C-alpha cells in the first residue's frame, strides 16, 4: 500500500493506565498514512499531536496527574479542537457529567454530551467480556469481543440543539447488563451503549487495546483523525 510522506501524530496520554497497549495496537495498523505515536506527558508533547487517545486506568488519578503536570486546561482546549478517543477511564473524562464519583468529585475534560457513571458494572471481580454489536467498523457483521474491567456505564445522552449528533457505534445485549441496571422490558437504552461517536470524538467504555482486533483503532484513525489532517 502506498503511504503518504507526512506522518500523522497520534498522542496517547501516558500519565497512568494502559497506554502501552494502545501504542501496540496503533503500531499494528497498516493504513494509507504513516502513524507516529507520541506518549504524552508534557505540554510540548501534546502540542505535537494531531489527535489523542486517553487510556483506561483510574480517572481521578489521571485527572489529578494532568492537573499537577499543567496539562488539565491544555487538554480541555485540545478536546475542543482535535479528535480525542477515551477508553474506560478516558471515557469518563470525555463526558460532560459523571455520577458515582469519589469524594471531592471528578474533574472532566468534556467534549461529549453524555452522563456517565463510574464503576457502573461493579468491582474488579465483576469484570467480564462479551460480544458487541458494532456499526461502522470494518466487517461490522463480525462480532467484536469487548473487555469490561470496572467499566463505566452511559447513563444518558443529552445533546443540545446546537451540538453534533451522537452516533452509537457499539452496543451490548440488555441481557448482559447487571440486574441492577436492567429495565423490566429489556428495552434498548443508553446503558447498553458501549461505544459512541460525537463529531471528532470517540468514547468506548471497554478496553479495545486488550484484544488483537484493531478495528476500533482503525476506525478512530480513518474516520475521526485522517479527515482532519492535511
215: annotated binding-site residue? Answer: no
105: annotated binding-site residue? Answer: no
Separation between Cα atoms, residue 177 and residue 63, nearest integer Å? 28
33: annotated binding-site residue? Answer: no
Find out whether 138 and 120 touch, Cβ atoms under 8 Å.
no
59: annotated binding-site residue? Answer: yes
Q: 198: how many CB neighbours lie within 10 A of its CB?
A: 19
150: annotated binding-site residue? Answer: yes
Separation between Cα atoms, residue 216 and residue 228, nearest integer Å? 18
Which cell numbers in the block locate residue 33? 498514512
120: annotated binding-site residue? Answer: no
DSSP H helices in the chain = 19-28, 43-46, 59-68, 72-81, 89-94, 215-219
Q: What angle do CA 18, 21, 24 make, to 5 degrees?
A: 155
Q: Which residues are catalytic?
A: 88, 207, 209
Binding site listing = 57-59, 118, 149-150
Binding site listing for L-glutamine = 57-59, 118, 149-150
Amino acid at each position: 500500500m502506498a503511504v503518504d510522506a507526512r506522518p500523522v501524530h497520534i498522542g496517547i496520554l501516558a500519565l497512568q493506565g494502559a497506554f502501552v497497549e494502545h501504542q501496540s495496537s496503533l503500531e499494528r495498523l497498516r493504513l494509507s498514512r504513516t502513524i507516529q505515536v507520541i506518549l504524552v506527558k508534557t505540554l510540548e508533547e501534546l502540542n505535537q499531536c494531531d489527535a489523542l487517545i486517553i487510556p483506561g486506568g483510574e480517572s481521578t488519578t489521571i485527572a489529578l496527574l494532568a492537573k499537577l503536570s499543567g496539562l488539565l486546561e491544555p487538554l480541555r482546549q485540545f478536546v475542543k479542537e482535535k479528535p480525542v478517543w477515551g477508553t474506560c477511564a478516558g471515557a469518563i473524562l470525555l463526558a460532560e457529567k459523571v455520577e458515582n464519583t469519589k469524594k471531592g468529585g471528578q474533574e472532566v475534560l468534556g467534549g461529549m454530551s453524555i452522563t456517565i457513571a463510574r464503576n457502573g458494572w461493579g468491582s474488579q471481580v465483576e469484570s467480564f467480556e462479551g460480544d458487541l454489536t458494532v456499526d461502522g467498523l470494518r466487517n461490522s457483521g463480525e462480532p467484536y469481543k469487548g473487555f469490561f474491567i470496572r467499566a463505566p456505564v452511559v447513563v444518558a445522552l443529552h445533546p443540545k440543539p446546537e451540538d453534533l449528533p451522537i452516533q452509537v457505534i457499539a452496543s451490548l445485549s440488555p441481557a448482559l447488563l447487571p440486574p441492577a441496571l436492567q429495565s423490566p422490558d429489556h428495552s434498548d437504552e443508553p446503558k447498553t451503549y458501549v461505544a459512541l461517536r460525537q463529531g471528532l470524538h470517540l468514547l468506548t467504555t471497554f478496553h479495545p487495546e486488550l484484544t488483537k482486533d484493531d478495528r476500533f483503532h482503525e476506525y478512530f484513525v480513518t474516520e475521526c483523525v485522517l479527515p482532519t489532517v492535511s
